[in-house]
Structure 1
Amino acid sequence: MSAPASNPTIVVAAVALVRDGAVLTVRKQGTARFMLVGGKLEPGESARDAAIRETLEEVGLRLREVQLLGEYESAAANEPDHRLVSTVFLAEADGEPTAAAEIAEVRWTPLDPAGLDDLAPMLEHNVLPELRRLASAPPAQQP
């Protein structure tokens, strides 16, 4: 049996909730890496709707001010030899997140996570640099 021509792709939607110089991250049960809140889209569901649903299911927060941050591709954190395509939204939410569903732990991860070695590749290499860029940009350049 020959290997597939390309790595399988996982398509997800995720949410970046930023407060006080940190972004909300979660670690799923049985995994070691922290990532954004989010997950796979259900059939017929838009990325935005999936991000809103997953945030409520995983950390009990209702989102407001949901806007597109970007679409990113990286290695998947927990599935070896898989690629991850993630549509990421920047949003706001009131209240404090609480781990629910498959989430084992929630953490506010600094936008400049010096010394942390437990971040998902998409978060570390794509989203955090973009969030740092936005945090340092003049207000007129922010989405």
Structure 2
Amino acid sequence: MSAAVIIDEGGRLLLVRKAGTSAFMQPGGKPEAGESPAQTLVRELAEEVGLRLDEADLVPLGEFSAPAANEPGFEVVADVFRVGIGDQTPVAAAEIAELRWVTRAEASEIDVAPLAAAYFLPEA
């Protein structure tokens, strides 16, 4: 899978919650046949949060793993990218029920997926 680290000017991380789930996680998703991790993320960000990007907007951060938020007993392995979105404003679309910009302190008040909680919540 591919996931995005999108930080706003206030240092907050963008998290999304899919319909029918409680955990907030980084936007992204699973690849379709033949897609590279970067292609997957560009497609998923367009579908899920309406961002129009290309691969040049993505900076690879590496491969990370953590327990899956919505599938007990499974582990998620994600190719993670830092993503610059310019002046675009993400909006919840497709299966996304809600999006939030959160600091580490605010994240303690919501259910955050292990991948985001372990590696990507901002320090401030």
Normalized against structure 1, the TM-score is what?
0.77
Aligned residue identity for 1:87: D
Uncovered stretches (5+) of structure 2, i.e. residues with no partner? none
List 4+ stretches of structure 1 deviating above 6 A. Answer: none
Equivalent residue for 1:80?
A: 72
Query: Which protein, 1 or 2, shows the higher relative CO under an 8 Å CA cutoff with sep ≥ 6?
Result: 2
SS in 2 for 1:18: coil
Give the one of 73, 88, 95 matched to 1:95.
88
Whole-Å separation in 1 of the counterparts to 2:37 and 2:109: 29
Give the number of equivalent residue pairs: 120
Which structure has the greater CA radius of gyration? 1
In terms of fraction of residues, the more strand-rich structure is 1
Residue by residue over 1:12-68, the C-alpha shift from the partner in whole angstroms, topping out at 9 and shown as x without a partner, is: 101111011101110000000000000001111000110111001000012363111
Whole-Å separation in 1 of the counterparts to 2:90 and 2:107: 23
* Alignment root-mean-square deviation, CA: 1.7
Uncovered stretches (5+) of structure 1, i.e. residues with no partner? 1-11, 136-143
Normalized against structure 2, the TM-score is what?
0.89
SS in 2 for 1:54: helix
Equivalent residue for 2:26?
A: 36
Whole-Å separation in 1 of the counterparts to 2:45 and 2:101: 15
Q: Percent identity?
A: 45
Whole-Å separation in 1 of the counterparts to 2:52 and 2:4: 12
Equivalent residue for 2:49?
A: 59
Contact 2:7 2:14 (8 Å CA) reproduced: yes
